[in-house]
Amino acid sequence: MELTSTAFGNGQAIPRKYSCDGPDVSPPLSWSGVPEGTAAFALICDDPDAPAGTWVHWVYFDIPATAGGLPEGVPKDEKPKTGGVQGSNDFRRIGYGGPCPPGGRHRYYFKLYALDAPLGLDPGAAKSAVESAMQGHVLADTQLMGTYTR
């Protein structure tokens, strides 16, 4: 399975548009090579370089198996029209919260999971709840890493 974005390549800088220094909209994402039997996707974006430990920027799950990606600017709604359910990030908000490091260059990992069943969690679920619910249901996973410097 492969995860890509037209906004930045793996290991490249994430444009300002997708950060707290810009409009803070989610980047466009697309995926391919989905395994047979995929019933839903989950997406987690986090920053392992945050001073207090890994900072969660986006939790999105039960994305329909028919989805081949996500458009730019997914609304910060519990259940956006793109399908699926959004959880809470470490900014204590639903949906995407872009890079906003206190300083220096940070890495942001967009991790996509193909699942054999939807998770059925409530909107606002935390990353830990999603990761726990995914156990034993991951058919494949992939990631895309971008960097951001302030």
Q: What span, in angstroms and rounded, lies between the C-alpha atoms of 37 and 77?
A: 28
Output the pLDDT for position 95. Answer: 98
| Each residue's pLDDT tens digit, 86-139 | 999 999 999 999 999 998 999 999 999 999 999 999 999 999 999 999 999 999
Claim: this prediction has a pTM higher than 0.85:
yes
Which residues face 45 on adjacent strands? Answer: 58, 110
Output the pLDDT for position 86. Answer: 98
58-88 b/e with 16+ CB inside 10 Å = b?
Answer: bbbbbbebebebbeebbebeeebebbbbbbb
Please tell me the CATH superfamily of domain 2-149, with its number: PEBP-like (3.90.280.10)
Q: What span, in angstroms and rounded, lies between the C-alpha atoms of 51 and 112?
A: 24
| Each residue's pLDDT tens digit, 49-82 | 999 899 999 999 999 999 999 999 999 999 999 8
